[in-house]
Amino acid sequence: MHLTSPASRPVLRTLGGLAAAGVAGVAWSLVEARWYTLREVTVPVLPAGQAPLRVLHVSDLHLTPGQRRKVDWVRDLATLDPHLVVDTGDNWAHRDAMPALLRALEPLLALPGAFVLGSNDYVAPVPKNPARYLLPDARRTPVRPPVELPWRELVARLTSAGWRDLSNRRDVLEVDGRRLSLVGTDDAHLDQDRFPAAGGDDDVRPAAAGAAGAAAARRTDPVVDLHVGVTHAPYRRVLDAMHEDGVDLTIAGHTHGGQLAVPFWGALTTNCDLDTSRAKGLHGWPGARPDRPGGGGSSWLHVSAGLGTSPYAPVRFACRPEATLLTLVPA
C-alpha cells in the first residue's frame, strides 16, 4: 500500500531538499562564527609626506569562559606590530570572562591604545527573539533586572595599561612620532552618548568651523597630524557629531556586519539607524568615500563586523568574524 500518491512525491522531495538545505545552513553558520579573519584596509587620510600608520581595530569579542581559540587568535594579532590599537567595545558576554579577556588582550595592552565600551560591557546579554533585530529599533525594556558586569574593573585594567578611555571624552596620544587628537562617545545604543564639548584642555584641534575647515587648517598646523573619532554603536547622530567636529576617521563596531547576511546582497540589519550598505567596512560619511566622485566634504568611517556573537545566537552567515588592520597613508 502506497502512503503517498505519485503527484505528491515532487512536493515531498522539494520539502525534503529545503529541510536539508536549512540544516546545512545552520551547521555552516555555527562553523563560520568561529572562522576568524583579518581584514586589511588602506585609508588615505594622513598629511602628505608621512609614513604609513598601522591601526588595529578590534571589536565585539563577546568573550565567554572557555573560548580558548578566540583568545589565542586575538593574542596573535600583536604580531602585526600595529602602532595603535582601537577597541570599540562589547568585549565580553559573561561575568566570569575577565581572566580570558585579559589574557586575550595582554600582548595588545603593551601597545598604545584607546577604547570605548559597548552595552555588553556593562550588562550580560539576555535571550531575545532574533526577529527583533529586523525592527527599526531592536531595543526593549528588560523584563527582569540585567546582570551587571564588572565594567569598572575592566576600565581600570585597560587604563592602568596606558590605553585611553574615550567614553564621552577627548584625549591626545603620541603614536610613532605623530600627534593624534581623539574624541569618543559612550554607547549610543544605551543612549549614554554625550559628545564632549570642544575647547577643553585636551582639545588641540586646529581652530576652524566644521569638518572641511578643520581638515584645511590641519594641513598647515603641525600641532595635530590626525583627528580620530571612536564609538561603539554608529548611530547617525554620533557620526554627524564626529563629522561636524572635523574628524578625519571615525572607528566603530556594534553592527556585527549584520551577522546573518544574504550572499551577493549584504546585511539585513545594523541594529542601529545606520544604513545596511555601511554595515561593515570602509565608507564615507555623510556621503561617498572622500577619494571617490561625490565624496568631497565627507570624512572616513570604518565599521568592524566584530569577532563574536551573543551566546544566545552563536551563528554567522556570509559574514565572517573579523579584526581589521587599517593602514593609514597620505591622502
Q: What is the mean pLDDT of the chain?
A: 87
Confidence of residue 45 (pLDDT cuts 50, 70, 90): very high
Confidence of residue 207 (pLDDT cuts 50, 70, 90): very low
Instruction: Give the chain's domains with CATH numbers.
Output: 9-330 (3.60.21.10)
Q: State the average pLDDT over residues 80-103.
A: 98
Confirm whether pTM is higher than 0.75.
yes
Confidence of residue 8 (pLDDT cuts 50, 70, 90): low
The amino acid occupying position 147 is: V
Q: What is the pLDDT of residue 109?
A: 98
pLDDT tens digits for 145-198?
788 999 999 999 999 999 999 999 999 999 999 999 999 999 999 999 999 998
Provide the grid cell at 113.
591604545
Q: What is the pLDDT of residue 32?
A: 87
Provide the grid cell at 284.
564615507
Q: How far is CA 325 from CA 60, 77, 296, 304, in A?
A: 15, 9, 25, 11
Output b/e per residue, 34-67; b: 16+ Cβ within 10 A. Answer: bebeebeeebebbbeebeebbbbbbbbbbbbeeb
Alpha helices by DSSP H, listed for the chain, are: 9-32, 68-76, 98-109, 119-122, 151-160, 210-218, 236-244
Q: What is the pLDDT of residue 252?
A: 98
Q: Is the pLDDT of residue 98 over 90?
A: yes
Q: Is the pLDDT of residue 218 over 80?
A: no
Q: Which of 41, 28, 7 is nearest to 281 (CA)?
A: 41
Q: State the average pLDDT over residues 229-258.
A: 98
pLDDT tens digits for 273-314?
999 999 999 999 999 999 999 999 999 999 999 999 999 999
